Amino acid sequence: MRDYQKIERGYEKIIKYSDEVNRLLILDKEIVTILSEYNSLQNLIANHSVLSLKYKDLKTEIIKLGNEFLESMPDACPLFDIPCDHIKERKNDI
């Protein structure tokens, strides 16, 4: 009878440890999922930073090219060859 009780306790311990191992495996899968999401967010943040810098550079380039375009325009209207105040005003805003 005592042998039977020892064997039964052994099985109970095995079942207990089996349940704990299963819980650890589930936690491990959740940790892997969360780490994957975290890494994805870090990549998105890095991409956002790169795109922000490119946007600032492009915005600066557009302003620079717009100013060069206005400076290269004649003071007279190209269609009628008469002075145009709106062109002069835009050039003065630069």
Which domain covers residue 15, as residue numbers?
2-93
**1-10: pLDDT as tens digits:** 677 777 778 7
Report how many domains make up the chain.
1
**37-87: pLDDT as tens digits:** 999 999 999 999 999 999 999 999 999 998 888 788 777 777 777 777 766
Q: What is the pTM of this model?
A: 0.53
The type of residue at 24 is: L
Buried b (16+ CB within 10 A) or exposed e, 66-88: eeeeeeeeeeeeeeeeeebeebe
